[in-house]
Structure 1
């Protein structure tokens, strides 16, 4: 089976993803979830013209005054009447502008003499500058958020401001993570010769846990087909199974033959990327199985480029892939080979600085990195200051 380009592999994977079913939940419990349907405003915001300043509400036609003060409009306590010629009302920021008024004078430019108001400043330009008109933010039945939008903190505020106490969202995908390898030991366990702490499972769980999904971890599991069959059987209700390790071609790499033995259909295997070539994708009835490499860096990079976009797509996200940015490089990089390369880097003063150690088993530089420099296959050497494409890993 030939190596796939990254973009083609991602396209094939996302084409397999079906959004989970919709459900309606309390808006205050919906932070980070993805909308299953467009969200329409149930009210107009603001519902009345409001003052944007502390000052005085007057008729613009009466400029430059003076005016007779007839009352006050405060937040939640609007002035009860209309403003007629020559009248002024004291007004607070956020208070309703009384009918008849079409200008607000800021208080610092006014002087009160008993019940008389004098204006001593420059008229606002335009005269309605300090008034927020009805519907400035949105109007009833306007689309506040499209289907597939993620409810960020600001989007959550918009939904609530639009009058919603509940919102339609996608069910959280069920994700099972299985880390495989005879050499793996649970975190904190004593290590014998050749043993390694099983870091991939917790790392993948943490990465997936930043998105709306319910994560179950199984493992570490040794390189035994029966143990793997049992683990897959216990994950029957998962929408997505992510494995780490065992996806290559060695004698102890049992993920592919195990999947074939339980009736899974291989979609593709191996991607032209470094690190991370032995990525495997299979379907088992409605379930997607994503096999990732066992080296920690390879596992992280492929999870970032495949697992996280897949979980976003299952949540109904309309743009699930990470966004590329362009910035200068600090340092230099040699030519690439037949595979695209993803260089761990740090962002410093607006430039991407490649980390010295790029070995796929080195966790320390991975923990220091906050970006991946994207190097196409067959690229030429680049020098300090050249522009490169990057993926930001966080934020």
Structure 2
């Protein structure tokens, strides 16, 4: 194994993970809009047309020209028929929302503001506003060639709606990275109540869905015992872009991940991170595949997946790195040790962050109830201090 040993800070590890993901990003593909939800753009999206494509009525009412009262003409309704005759001063036509405003119209008088007197339309006033136009001007939302969304943007339903209204039928997206999970350890059991000396596999039911929520495809989860040859076999897959393992990253006689990566010729990108929990994390690569090797303790593994796995998948999808947020503390948080402390928190009624109970490297109940993760700097922080925070991808 060609070791480029990096013992980074928490921030440096995130940057290294994002860069490694970008370097391994998959090629793009073109998909129809209906199949593009939650996908990541592989190319900029620009408008193909003006939006609206014509001056359109924003209200049901009357298109009017000049000052009233007005004589009435034929109705104008939403649809493909465009009114051909221009309005002249003193004329009005009933109009529905979305219909083409006739040439010559000054504004649309909404139905609540007009009344008919002796067969003519009279302006009854628009309370609180002086003659608003109630017209959606052609091109006020987009012009042809306008940049709608840059490459690396995640396509939400409203963004797909914008693409549709701007004339697109398909978009270019990054192919979703293929991921797999391998849970390592003799002590891990897959079902039922664990016997003394064993623990339940908590990762196979949870990690694949977390990866899918980030935009990866993960349909494979396996377990392997504490044996070097079987660890090599578990890590030696070549049919995925990202292989995530849990356990085996420390230095005991039963921890074989480093030796397995060495036998496979992998290059270490990150070995250990200055954060707790999660110090033993490893990130490695070999041709065509990235290895994110998480600690075996449940909370340590899941917090590492949030802290380091999220920017890694961001990179694989060509997205900008998801940046931390910020919250203010409801209580003092002590942290005298080096590096950062990741703590699950909930927001109280005042919007302040309070660490939850039942959280340690081996516990999960606190994380299950959390609103996010605090990133507490070395030296701790005091009540009211702003600290960085990580959103949870579930």
Deviation at residue 144 of structure 1 after TM alignment: 1.3
1:354 to 2:358 alignment? no
Deviation at residue 50 of structure 1 after TM alignment: 0.9
* 1:140-184 deviation line (CA, Å, top 9, x unaligned): 121111111110111111111111111110111011111111110
Deviation at residue 125 of structure 1 after TM alignment: 5.4
Matches within 5 A, 1:121-270: 121-122=125-126, 127=131, 129-186=133-190, 188-189=191-192, 191-233=194-236, 235-270=237-272
Segments of 4+ in structure 1 off by > 4 A?
122-128
> CA distance change for structure 1 residues 394 and 352 in 2, over 3 Å: closer, same or farther?
farther
Which is further off, 189-198 or 124-133? 124-133
Distance 2:164 2:92 in 1: 34
Distance 2:15 2:328 in 1: 28
8 Å CA contact 1:104, 1:131 repeated in 2: yes
Matches within 5 A, 1:78-117: 78-113=82-117, 115-117=119-121
| Alignment partner of 2:45 out of 39, 46, 61 | 39
Q: Which residue matches 1:392?
A: 391
Distance 2:42 2:324 in 1: 22
8 Å CA contact 1:200, 1:294 repeated in 2: no
Deviation at residue 139 of structure 1 after TM alignment: 1.1
Distance 1:371 1:67 in 2: 61
Distance 1:274 1:6 in 2: 10
Q: Which residue matches 1:48?
A: 54
8 Å CA contact 1:339, 1:378 repeated in 2: no
Q: Which residue matches 1:25?
A: 31
Q: Which residue matches 1:321?
A: 322
> CA distance change for structure 1 residues 354 and 292 in 2, over 3 Å: closer, same or farther?
same
Distance 1:189 1:262 in 2: 34
Structure 1: runs of 5 or more not aligned:
none
Deviation at residue 81 of structure 1 after TM alignment: 2.1
- RCO higher in 1 or 2 (8 Å CA, sep ≥ 6)? 2
1:388 aligned counterpart, secondary structure: strand
Measured on the aligned residues, the alpha-carbon RMSD in Å equals 1.9
1:298 to 2:304 alignment? no
1:68 to 2:61 alignment? no
Deviation at residue 306 of structure 1 after TM alignment: 1.2
8 Å CA contact 1:201, 1:244 repeated in 2: no
8 Å CA contact 1:305, 1:321 repeated in 2: no
Distance 2:130 2:393 in 1: 43
8 Å CA contact 2:38, 2:156 repeated in 1: yes
Distance 2:105 2:218 in 1: 58
Deviation at residue 394 of structure 1 after TM alignment: 4.8
> CA distance change for structure 1 residues 387 and 214 in 2, over 3 Å: closer, same or farther?
closer
Structure 2: runs of 5 or more not aligned:
none
Which is further off, 356-365 or 40-49? 356-365
Distance 1:212 1:386 in 2: 33
Q: Which residue matches 2:287?
A: 285
2:214 aligned counterpart, secondary structure: coil
2:292 aligned counterpart, secondary structure: strand
Deviation at residue 246 of structure 1 after TM alignment: 0.5
Distance 1:140 1:303 in 2: 41
Distance 1:323 1:339 in 2: 16
Deviation at residue 225 of structure 1 after TM alignment: 1.4
Deviation at residue 293 of structure 1 after TM alignment: 0.6
* 1:349-380 deviation line (CA, Å, top 9, x unaligned): 3111111333111111110111111111233x
Distance 1:264 1:78 in 2: 66
